[in-house]
Amino acid sequence: MKSVKLAVSAIAIVAATGTTAFARDNIQVAGSSTVLPYASIVAEAFGENFDYPTPVVESGGSSSGLKRFCEGVGENTIDVANASRKIKDKEIATCAENGVTDIMEVRIGYDGIVFASQKDGPAFDAFDPSDIYNALGAKVMKDGQLVDNTYAKWNEFNAALPDADIIAFIPGTKHGTREVFEEKVLEAGCEATGAMEAYVASGMDEKAAAKECMKVRTDGKAVDIDGDYTETLARIGSNPNGIGVFGLAFYENNTDKLKVATMSGVTPSTETIASGDYPVSRPLFFYVKKAHIGQIPGLKEYAEFFVSDDMAGADGPLAQYGLVSDPELAQTQEAVAAETTMNSGM
């Protein structure tokens, strides 16, 4: 990664002074593989521009990071959890049970989820949610009936798609990307194909039907990837028919190996995500344990630096890597400066 040297103006470069209650003096961050490259860029720049140690940033997925975040308060627990989804109510409850009661939710910007394949592979150029659902859903509509999915090739349900074996590498269940994939692609495709209506007609309520819509087939056509996007890229590299689910930024940094498909006729880009035209986008977050501010040197400064114009603004290095800048960034900056927590209105 290229180093980032900044003339930091809005945030004072402050040396750690006095003693702290925790023996640990480095910020510890874990969570989303989507947020990982952004957090790594910020951490490196923070270490270069501030008189604090470079934060330690690990991946593992949104759910894993939030689980570690909610283990408790103290130097043996992480300070920040990165997430490509909002923290769940049950996770907030777990945090509270373990003494993590003051949580700062910080939105850093937006990202899109894209469907990409080998650059020289089959012509996977255009998808609708119904295509992804027909390829990967556990049950699909055939002749007006809801049946187990036995589709083997893409052109069996859409003649415009390639005569290629179905094989898709999708985020594992611990990744925040998986939830967005389920809600904005699988569920939308389930509705579009009539499968949702069929589930409800069978006696299910809408919540139960939506849960069924999010189930994927288990015959090897849909492969969960529990690692980060580099693992998905490697799988596609060894499988010319493979389709992978990636964050937009990762795709844009691997266009020499991948080509991307449109979704519902819209090409994914920072512009189409910012405008709301691209249908599969989501906000990205990190969560700060407020009880660690003042205990772990530089923690608040790190949070402020992350969402500063220098880093997360439209012309900053995160945008250059692929983050879609948040139009409400100024409000986020104010909330972080005020140490606003989720239970106090953030």
Instruction: Please write the tens of the pLDDT for every residue from 132-146.
Output: 999 999 999 999 999
| CA distance linking residue 317 with residue 309, whole number of Å | 10
pLDDT class of 19 with cuts at 50, 70, 90 = very low
C-beta neighbour count of 12 within 10 angstroms: 9
pLDDT over threshold 60, residue 11: no
What is the DSSP-derived secondary structure letter of residue 203?
T
Q: What average pLDDT does this structure show over 179-183?
A: 90
| CA distance linking residue 302 with residue 287, whole number of Å | 12
Which helix (H) or strand (E) is 40 found in, with range?
helix 36-49
Do 339 and 290 meet the contact criterion of CB atoms below 8 Å apart? yes
According to the model, what pLDDT value does residue 180 have?
87
According to the model, what pLDDT value does residue 344 have?
73
pLDDT over threshold 80, residue 20: no
* Residues 6+ positions from 90 with CB-CB distance below 8 Å: none
Q: What is the DSSP string of 275-336?
A: HT-SSSEEEEEEEEEGGGBTTBTTHHHHHHHHTSHHHHSTTSHHHHHTPBPPTTHHHHHHHH
Question: Rounded to a whole number, what is the distance in angstroms from the first to the last CA of the chain?
Answer: 33
Which helix (H) or strand (E) is 13 found in, with range?
none
Instruction: Please write the tens of the pLDDT for every residue from 275-308.
Output: 889 999 889 999 999 999 999 999 999 999 999 9
C-beta neighbour count of 232 within 10 angstroms: 25
Tokens linked to 271: 């512009």
Average pLDDT of the chain? 92
Q: Give 141's strand partners.
A: 146
pLDDT class of 21 with cuts at 50, 70, 90 = low
* Residues 6+ positions from 5 with CB-CB distance below 8 Å: 45, 48, 49
| CA distance linking residue 113 with residue 116, whole number of Å | 10
pLDDT over threshold 70, residue 13: no
Tokens linked to 341: 């927590």
Instruction: Please write the tens of the pLDDT for every residue from 303-338.
Output: 999 999 999 999 999 998 889 999 899 999 999 999
According to the model, what pLDDT value does residue 228 have?
87
Q: At residue 235, what is the residue type?
A: R
According to the model, what pLDDT value does residue 305 have?
98
Question: Of the ranges 38-47, 265-274, 331-340, which one carries the lowest mean pLDDT score?
Answer: 265-274
Closest CA to 307 of 333, 337, 275: 333
Q: Which domains does the chain have, with CATH numbers?
A: 22-110+282-337 (3.40.190.10), 112-281 (3.40.190.10)
Query: Rounded to two decimals, what is the model's pTM?
Result: 0.76
Do 270 and 322 meet the contact criterion of CB atoms below 8 Å apart? yes
